[in-house]
Amino acid sequence: MIIDLRSDTVTKPSKGMLDAMMSAEVGDDVFREDPTVNTLEERLARMFGKPKALFFPSGSMANQTALKLHTNPSEQVICDKYAHIYNYEAGGASFNSGISCHLINGQRGMFTASQVKEAINPDAYYYSQTTLVEVENTTNKGGGACWDFEELKNIRGICDDHKLGYHLDGARLWNALVAKNETTQQYGELFDTISVCLSKGLGCPVGSVLIGDEDLMHNAVRVRKILGGNMRQVGYLAAAGLYALDHNINRLEDDHKKAKEIGSVLSELSIIAKVEPIETNIVIFELESHVDETEFLQQLSDKNIRIIGMGSNKLRMVTHLDYTDTMHERLLEVLYDF
């Protein structure tokens, strides 16, 4: 038994999901004639109360498309220093859209409306023009932290005052919705564009969706084409998404519960200096400075447990739907032995 907690992306499609995929009705999505893709897009648009949604092969491509739709070259997006669009999209913001990121020094990937206000460049010709604010919920590098919805609303106010676009990287929004008892509708009302992943906590093999207002989304399919994201009989993958929306959202609670239990065991170990607050399915913890990270990872690996290092003696575990109760018991046993 291998216990893989490196990410919630390591899941494999379940029998039920595979059955749904195999029996999907498909067509050529380049002609926009794949009925299953169309159903998935319409369903997500409706869930968020938005007119348009578009299926993407990855979350990065969905975010990169959003950046392009909101900005012109030379402009600036405000985001946290931990933002996925800044850290983990291979410099795509500058490569694809010719924009720069104004980084906010937030807390666990989150910031305040007044920090946004301060980060907006003055209206002088020698500044880059600020045109977009981007937030992430839950935060990835921030350890699965969930935003306070009131703060997100305050930021919307700043965006309205300064005519800035507002994009949500909701790769793990599902986890936030479950943890905070929030709805897709309330997020749809607040943001201009939202990207969501089907291949993280929801357990699909591939797929993300960008959801947004009509005027912005008008060009989304063209940008996706330019980025190489045209797909054909992709309803087989969209069917996995539909299956996940039906079966895999509410169960995220179980991942959150397990993550908290792992956190409480870790916080009792003498070799652990600190466990970051656990709100969803991500556990980030720091080893005591005398503990060698490589050695610790090796000791786990010898017991068939895989987790990842994040640098500076910080490590990460992510719970997911292929992490079973049996694996959980075994992991806790192993941890108690340290």
Site of interaction with ligand PLP (CB under 6 A): 58-60, 63, 84, 136, 140, 169, 171-172, 197, 200, 208
Q: Tokens 């996706």 correspond to what residue?
A: 224
- For ligand PLP, give the closer residue by CB, 82 or 296: 82
Query: For residue 252, how far is the Cα from the chain centroid?
Result: 14
- For ligand PLP, give the closer residue by CB, 58 or 287: 58
Task: Count Cα atoms within 13 angstroms, Cβ side, for 231.
Answer: 21
CB of 269 to ligand PLP, least distance (A): 27
Task: Count Cα atoms within 13 angstroms, Cβ side, for 217.
Answer: 21
- For ligand PLP, give the closer residue by CB, 62 or 155: 62
CB of 58 to ligand PLP, least distance (A): 4
8 A C-beta contact, residue 337 and residue 8: no
Residue 282: which of 162, 95, 154, 143 has the closest Cα?
Answer: 143
CB of 337 to ligand PLP, least distance (A): 31
CB of 265 to ligand PLP, least distance (A): 25
CB of 44 to ligand PLP, least distance (A): 16
- For ligand PLP, give the closer residue by CB, 141 or 258: 141
CB of 223 to ligand PLP, least distance (A): 15
Question: Which ranges of the chain does DSSP label H, i.e. alpha helix?
Answer: 15-22, 35-48, 59-70, 84-87, 92-97, 113-119, 149-162, 173-180, 184-190, 214-217, 220-226, 235-247, 252-266, 293-302, 325-336
8 A C-beta contact, residue 176 and residue 143: no
Q: 124: burial class by Cβ within 10 Å (0-12, 13-18, 19+)?
A: exposed
CA-CA distance, 331 to 220, in Å (whole number)?
A: 44
Tokens linked to 148: 């306070």
8 A C-beta contact, residue 170 and residue 113: no
Q: Which residue is nearest to ligand PLP (CB)?
A: 59
CA-CA distance, 70 to 76, in Å (whole number)?
A: 10
CB of 174 to ligand PLP, least distance (A): 12
Residue 286: which of 331, 317, 330, 323 has the closest Cα?
Answer: 317
- For ligand PLP, give the closer residue by CB, 169 or 279: 169
- For ligand PLP, give the closer residue by CB, 60 or 280: 60
- For ligand PLP, give the closer residue by CB, 167 or 296: 167
205 contacts: CB under 8 Å, gap ≥ 6: 12, 13, 199, 237, 240
CB of 178 to ligand PLP, least distance (A): 16
- For ligand PLP, give the closer residue by CB, 71 or 280: 280
304 contacts: CB under 8 Å, gap ≥ 6: 1, 2, 3
- For ligand PLP, give the closer residue by CB, 10 or 334: 10
CB of 90 to ligand PLP, least distance (A): 10
8 A C-beta contact, residue 174 and residue 196: yes
